[in-house]
Chains A and B, each alone.
Chain A
C-alpha cells in the first residue's frame, strides 16, 4: 500500500467535527436565554404597542422584521415571545423529568407489585397520542400558559419514568452496587450516592433533546389557540395570526425561524452531550 493515501485528519479538525455543532448549539441556546432575560432592554418597541396606521408594514429600518396586522413590531414580539417559549419548555421538561425520574427509580427500587403498578400506569399514559391528550386536557382546563404547561406535564413524564427505571435496573445489578452492599453501606446511601449519579447522564441528554420538542409542542398548542391568552406575544400564536397572510410573509416566517433555531440549538447540544457521555461513540 502506498503511504501517500489521504492523510488522516488533524486532531483539531476532528475535535471540531465532533463537538463543533455542540458548541454552536450551546451558543444558540445561550443566546436565546440572554434575549429572554434582557427582553425589555433589547426590544425596540413594547410588544403590544399598536400602530394601526402602519399595519402589515414590510421589514424596514424602523421595523427590522416588519409589523403585524395590528401594527405591532414583529421583532419586539419575537423577543418577548422567547420568554414564554423558554419558560414553558424548561418548566415542562424539568418538572416532567423530575417526576418521571422519581417514579422510574422508585419502581426499580420497589420491585414486585409496586414496580408493576407504577409501570402499568406509565404505559397507560403512554398509550395516548401526546398532543391529542394534551389538547383534550388543555381544553378541559381552559386556555392559559399555566394550564397548557400542566396539560403537557401530564403527557411528558412517562418517557422519563421508563428511561430512569431501565437505567436504575441496569445500575442495580452492576457489581459496584453489589460491592457497596457487601461493604455494608446503608441502602439509602447506595441509592443516592451510587445509583442516582450513574443514571444522571442519559437523563440529562434526554432532557436537552426534549427541551426542543417541548418548545415545539407548546408552540403547536398555542398555534391551535390553547397556549397563551392574547395579546401575550408567543411564537406559535404569532404564526397562527399570520397564517393566512401569504403576501405579508414576514408576520409568520420570522417566529417560525425563531422556533426552528431554538430546537436546532437544543438538538445540537443534546447530540454533543450524548457523544461526550458515551465513550463508545467518542472513540469512533
Chain B
C-alpha cells in the first residue's frame, strides 16, 4: 500500500511539472504581443514598466531558460500581477479561495448525501416512482445550465417568494465572523456566533443547491447504473442464497462494489465544482474564485487567468491523487 502511495505521488509530481510547462507555453504563444497580453494596455503603454517586465521574465533568453525562471517563480509563489486588481495573483487567489472552497464542499456533501441514497433506491426499486424521480433529477441536473439554474432559483426563491436572502455571503450590513480561515461557517461556529452562522448558512443555501445540481445528477446516475450492474452480479445472488436479508445484500454486497465507480466520479465532480462555481458565484455575487475568474475573463486579465488555471489544475491533480488512493482502499484488487 505504501509503495502504491509513493508511486501515485511521484506520477502526480511529474504531471504537475508537465502541466506547468503547458501553461507556460500557452502564455508564451498567445497570438499577438505577449507583453500586451500580460500587462494589459494601460501598463503596456509605460515603457519603463515594459522594460522591467522584459528583464524580469528574460524575454530575450531562450525558451528553456525562460521556463526555468517561470518555474522557480512558481515555486516561490509568484504567479504574476493581476492587471485588473494590480495585486499579486496569488494574494487574490488566497483571498477568494475560502469562499469557493466552503461553497464547493457544502455542495459536494449535499450531492453525495442526496445522490447516493437516491441512486441506490432507484436501482433497488427499479421502474418505481422513486426510480422515475431519480432519473428526472439526474437528467435535469446534468442537462440544465448551471448559470440558468442559478438565475431561476434566485428569481423564484429570492425575487418572487422571498424565502432566501439575496446575493452575497452575508447580509450587506453584517460583519464577517472573527477568525482566520475565511470559512464563515467554520469561523462563526468556533466563535459561538450563531447569528452570523445562520446568516452565512442562509446565504449559502441557494448557491450550494444550484452548484450541487449537476454533481447530484451525475452521482445519482452513476450510483444507479453501478448498483443495477452490481445487483445482477453472481455474488449478489450468492449472498441471497446464503439467506442474508435484502438490506444486507444491497448495502454490504452490492453497494460496496458500486461505490468504486462512484468514487472515481466523485473526485472528478468535486474538481468540476470549481468550474461550476464560476457560473454560480457570478450570479449570486459570491466573492470567491469563480467570480474572480469571471471578472478576469471578462477583463481579459491574462496573468490572473493563467494563475487560476495553474491553481485549479494543481487542485485537480491533488483530487485525482486522493481518488486513486481511496480507490485502492475500496477495491483490494488495485492495491499491490
Contacts and interface: CB of A to CB of B under 8 A. Distances in A.
A/B touching: CB–CB < 8 A: yes
Interface of A: 17, 123-124, 127-133, 135-142, 212, 216, 219-220, 223-226, 236, 239-240, 242-243, 246-247, 249, 252-253, 255-256, 259-260, 263-264, 267
Nearest to B138: A267
A127 B314 CA distance: 9
Contact of B145 (A131, A141, A216): A216
Report which residue of B32, B302, B305 has the largest number of chain A beta carbons within 10 angstroms of its beta carbon.
B305
A133 B148 contact: no
B321 to A, nearest CB: 11
Given A140-B26, A224-B278, A224-B297, A132 B309 contact: yes
Chain A contact surface mostly = helix
B35 interface: no
A140 B37 contact: yes
B159 A247 contact: yes
Interface string B168-197: 000000000000000000000000000000
A21 to B, nearest CB: 9
B5 interface: no
B155 interface: yes
A163 B282 CA distance: 35
Given A127-B18, A255-B148, A267-B143, 19 more contacts: A127-B317, A129-B313, A131-B275, A135-B278, A140-B26, A140-B27, A140-B302, A141-B31, A142-B31, A224-B278, A224-B279, A236-B145, A239-B147, A249-B155, A249-B159, A252-B151, A256-B144, A260-B143, A263-B142
Given A135-B293, A140-B37, A216-B145, A243 B275 contact: no
Given A129-B274, A256-B151, A267-B139, A124 B145 contact: no
A234 to B, nearest CB: 12
B302 A139 contact: yes
Contacts of A141: 31
Report which residue of A139, A216, A242, A249 has the largest number of chain B beta carbons within 10 angstroms of its beta carbon.
A139
B306 interface: yes
Given A127-B316, A246-B158, A239 B151 contact: yes
A133 B140 CA distance: 26
Interface in B11-30: 15, 18-19, 22-23, 26-27, 30
B294 interface: yes
B18 A124 contact: yes
Report which residue of B143, B272, B294, B298 has the largest number of chain A beta carbons within 10 angstroms of its beta carbon.
B143
A243 B19 CA distance: 34
Contact of A224 (B26, B155, B298): B298
Contacts of B159: 246-247, 249
B110 interface: no
Contacts of A17: 127
B297 A139 contact: yes
B283 A263 contact: no
B145 A219 contact: yes
B200 interface: no
B83 to A, nearest CB: 12
A243 B281 CA distance: 12
Contacts of A236: 145, 147
B256 to A, nearest CB: 23
B22 A124 contact: yes
A264 B145 CA distance: 11
Interface string B253-293: 00000000000000000011011001100110000000001
